[in-house]
Amino acid sequence: MPFATTSDNQEIYYETHGPATSATTLAFVSGYFGITAIWHSLITRLSARGYRCIAHDSRGYGRSAKPTAEEAYSIPRHAEDVHAVLAAADIPPTSQLVLVTHSMGGNIGAAYCLAHPGRVAGLIQTGTYIDGARIQAILSYEALTSGVESPSKCVAFYTNMGLEEATALEAAKWPAYCRRYNARALLGWAIGDDQYADLTVPGLVVQGELDAATPVELLCRPIVEAMPACRLAVLPGVAHFPPTEAPEEVERLVVEFVRGL
C-alpha cells in the first residue's frame, strides 16, 4: 500500500507517477490545502514528459493520519513527513530531486532544505509567502479557521482564493481540529532572511498576479531577494492556486527550471 510511516508512527498516503528510472524526481508538497488533488493536472503533464512525480496527503488531510494532539503539527514536522515519503518511495540519493510546493508547502520545502542540505537540487514555490510570522499581516488565525465546523464554509474558503469547486469540496471532509492545528503550524513558523540566504539551491517563485492571500511584493519578493539563486515569475489573471488555475504555464516553468539545473 502507498503509505509511509513517519518517525512519530503516523501513516502518510502518497502516490507516484512516471518512470522510476527518471534522472529527475519531482516531489509535490501541498500547503494548507493539503492533498494531492491540486497537483493531478500538473503531474499528468510532467509524468508524460518522463519525470518521476511523487505527491502525498499531508497529515490531518485526505487519506493520511489525523493525529489528535496539537503538537503533532508543525512546519518541521511536515518537512520530516516529506522525508519519510521520499524514503518509502525509494528515491535514490543520486536522483536529482526538485521540490514543487504550494502555499504553506513553500515553507515546508524551505524547512526540508535546511534540515537536509545537499539533498535537494531545486526548490519551486507557488502561491507562497516568506513565513508564518510575516503572513499574519494578511491572514489571522481567525480568518484561517473561521467556519471550520461548517463544510460549506470550508469549501468557500478555498473557492474564494481561486480553487475550482470540484477540488475545494474535498475540504468538507477534513476534521475541524486538523484545520485549526495546521493553522497554528502555518502562522507559528518563522524563518529569518539569513536562513533563506542559506538556501543556496536554485529557486523559482511562481505567484499569481491576483493573489490577495499572499501578495507578491509583500510576501514573495523578500524570498527572491534573500535566496542567492532565485527568480520570480508572476502569472497574469491567476490568484492563489497556480497549479490548478494555470497548469500549462506552471508546466512550462517547471520544465524550463529543471532543464536549467
H/E stretch holding 208 reads strand 203-208
Percent of the chain predicted with pLDDT > 70: 100
What would you report as the CA-atom Rg of the chain, rounded to the nearest whole angstrom? 17
User: What is the predicted pLDDT for the residue at 1?
Assistant: 62
Residue-level pLDDT at 62 = 96
Distance CA 213, CA 192 (A): 21
pLDDT, residue 15, reads: 97
pTM over the 0.85 mark: yes
State the average pLDDT over residues 127-133: 96
Q: What is the pLDDT of residues 72-126, one digit of tens each?
A: 999 999 999 999 999 999 987 778 999 999 999 999 999 999 999 999 999 999 9
pLDDT band at 149 (very low <50, low <70, confident <90, very high): very high
Residue 23's pLDDT is 93
179 phi and psi angles, rounded to 5 deg: -60, -40
∠ at Cα 54 (52, 249), nearest 5°?
A: 75
Domains and their CATH numbers in the chain: 3-259 (3.40.50.1820)
Distance CA 9, CA 12 (A): 10
Q: Are strands 11-17 and 52-56 parallel, antiparallel or unpaired?
A: antiparallel
Residue that the C-alpha cell 542567492 belongs to:
228
Mean pLDDT value across the chain: 96
Each residue of 165-196: pLDDT tens digit? 999 999 999 999 999 999 999 999 999 889 99
Burial class of residue 19 (count of CB atoms within 10 Å of its CB; 0-12, 13-18, 19+): exposed
- For 159, the grid coordinates are 473557492
Pairing of strands 3-5, 24-29: unpaired
Alpha carbon 10 to its chain's center: 19
> What is the CB neighbour count within 10 angstroms for residue 198?
17
Upper half-sphere CA count for residue 80 (Cβ side, 13 Å): 12
